[in-house]
Amino acid sequence: MSTPPAAASPAETPERLAFYERIGQKHMTRCGGRSRNSSHPNRSAAASIAAFIQLLPKGLQTARYRSTDGTIFVAVEGHGRTRIGTDFVVEWRPRDIFVVPSWKPVIHEAADEAVLFSFSDRPVQEALHLFREERLDA
């Protein structure tokens, strides 16, 4: 897979955004939003499925997060690990697939710059007013 253009700082440059836009198009999705981690209703894979793509900078450890949607992740680039709940760790690299069940706390850790694609049933839960999420202390 091609390498993204280098950035002088952790901020996303227009070139890097264009690179990840191409990745998103290649993998049948492109998300909107500042964080590059939110779905766009007009660009979902289907009306009942939300698609996301996340850029995880090298060394990043996300805050603990949980939500009512079960989420399927596919590692696109890089490698790292994901802690699911209190006792399960997934070591991942490109093309690995793993699932985070509903309401299980999750933490992603990037060993090097990584891209994770994910999809879930969030739109259905939101339409039924069932979706809940919680950001937890790291």
131 C-beta neighbours (distance < 10 Å), count: 17
> Is the pLDDT higher at 8 or at 130?
130
CATH of domain 14-135: 2.60.120.10
At residue 36 the predicted structure's pLDDT band, cuts being 50, 70 and 90, is: very low
- C-alpha dist (Å) from residue 120 to 10, 48, 52, 108: 28, 8, 9, 17
pLDDT for res 27: 45
pLDDT at site 21: 66
Q: Regarding predicted confidence, which is higher, 34 or 116? A: 116
Phi, psi of 42 (to 5 degrees): -85, -5
What pLDDT, in 10s, does the model give residues 6-27? 544 455 677 766 766 666 554 4
**pTM score of the predicted model:** 0.69
Under the phi-then-psi rule, with left for phi > 0, alpha for psi from -120 to 50, and beta for the rest, what region is 134?
beta
pLDDT digits (tens, 9 = 90+) for 57-114: 999 999 999 999 999 999 999 999 999 999 999 999 999 999 999 999 999 999 999 9
DSSP assigned state of 6: P
d(CA 58, CA 113): 4
